[in-house]
Amino acid sequence: MSSAPDRPARRTLIGAGTQVGTEVSINFGSSIAGLLIPIVGSVVVVAVRQVITAIAVLPFYRPKRAELTWRRLWPALLLGLVLVSMNLSFYEAVGRLGLGIAATIEFLGPFALALAGSRRVLDVLCAVVAAGGVVLLTGTEGAIDPIGVVLALTAAASWAAYILLTRRVALRLPGLEGLSVASVVATVVLLPIALIIVDYSRLDWTVIGLLVAAGILSSAIPYSLDTFILRRIPPRLYAVITSFGPVIATMFGVLVLHEHFSAVQLAGIVIVCLAAGVTIATQREHPRSDLEGTAETIP
């Protein structure tokens, strides 16, 4: 019979394992999206993901009508536009660069927030090391699509804005109510465009099934497990695990999308992840870093 002190450790282990599972789910969903982008386009893929996000979140986190004042609502409305920018630019970057490279560059957004305002020498060194990793990833092996890099950087900036807005939204709408409003905004923006531009002749049950699977894996599963995870692990551990998302993305890029990476590029991806992990793991518990704020929601 296990002793009481073992229970917190077991809870943490279960929470950490579940968080790794959500990272696998998110990036597996992104790899499926990578298969679909050449068929239906990134706008359609993102629109379906936002519809599924709304379906997954709204039944449980629907704001009260009396709370929907402009003062409380405007950050959530802006968050919805940021969701459009973040997801659309990321999937466009995946189509041009591949999943592994796009995911690594995108992660520079929250990493930059983790470094913002820091005066530690260690954080400066980590920033320099991460920059070197990006150079290894994008500047040493063949031609990299410059538009793809710009799109990935746009996704990175949008992710940083998402984190900051999520914190502001949380002060006005509790839980994931702000995200539910944002997901409706993103759906309203993207769905009409997707319905206009989609090539319906390319849609069959396989493509539709993959679209739904990508949305469930990237949104429904992570959001449904988020509260479970955060009750069992501290935000710092959550953020450290998240920092290795690009490695998982690279794995699925190879397995699902048949992407090819040189040893130098793989080293660049690992270097960026390690630099982020060291930065987060060595920060003081208070105040929390902005990257640790990703524990509040999953983009």
Average pLDDT over residues 67-81: 75
* Secondary structure (H, E, C), the chain: CCCCCHHHHHHHHHHHHHHHHHHHHHHHHHHHHHHHHHHHCHHHHHHHHHHHHHHHHCCCCCCCHHHCCHHHHHHHHHHHHHHHHHHHHHHHHHHHHCHHHHHHHHCHHHHHHHHCCCCCHHHHHHHHHHHHHHHHHHCCCCCCCHHHHHHHHHHHHHHHHHHHHHHHHHHHCCCCHHHHHHHHHHHHHHHHHHHHHCCHHHCCHHHHHHHHHHHHHHHHHHHHHHHHHHCCCCHHHHHHHHCCHHHHHHHHHHHCCCCCCCHHHHHHHHHHHHHHHHHHHCCCCCCCCCCHHHHHCCC
pLDDT category at 172 given cuts 50, 70, 90 is low
Q: In the prediction, which pLDDT does 170 show?
A: 67
Share of the chain above pLDDT 90, in %: 38
pLDDT category at 292 given cuts 50, 70, 90 is very low
Are the CB atoms for 217 and 29 separated by under 8 Å?
yes
Q: In the prediction, which pLDDT does 297 show?
A: 45
Token pair of 206 as six digits: 């396989």
Average pLDDT over residues 263-273: 90
Token pair of 64 as six digits: 């009260």
Distance from C-alpha of 287 to C-alpha of 19, rounded to nearest angstrom: 23
pLDDT category at 176 given cuts 50, 70, 90 is low
Residues whose CB falls within 8 Å of the CB of residue 45, separated by 6 or more in sequence, listed in order: 33, 36, 37, 91, 211, 214
Please, what is the average pLDDT of the chain? 82
Q: In the prediction, which pLDDT does 201 show?
A: 92
Distance from C-alpha of 240 to C-alpha of 261, rounded to nearest angstrom: 24
pLDDT category at 258 given cuts 50, 70, 90 is very high
Average pLDDT over residues 201-206: 93
Model confidence at 233: pLDDT above 90: no
Q: In the prediction, which pLDDT does 73 show?
A: 74
Nearest C-alpha neighbor of 23 from the set 165, 225, 203: 225
Q: In the prediction, which pLDDT does 40 show?
A: 95
Q: In the prediction, which pLDDT does 298 show?
A: 44
Average pLDDT over residues 266-293: 72
Q: What is the pLDDT of residues 139-151, one digit of tens each?
A: 766 678 899 999 9
pLDDT category at 284 given cuts 50, 70, 90 is low
Q: In the prediction, which pLDDT does 232 show?
A: 78
Q: In the prediction, which pLDDT does 288 show?
A: 47
Average pLDDT over residues 128-157: 86
Residues whose CB falls within 8 Å of the CB of residue 209, separated by 6 or more in sequence, listed in order: none
Q: In the prediction, which pLDDT does 97 show?
A: 92
Are the CB atoms for 105 and 93 separated by under 8 Å?
yes
pLDDT category at 64 given cuts 50, 70, 90 is low
Q: Choose between 94 and 65: higher pLDDT.
A: 94
Q: In the prediction, which pLDDT does 71 show?
A: 66
Model confidence at 152: pLDDT above 70: yes
Distance from C-alpha of 137 to C-alpha of 204, rounded to nearest angstrom: 36
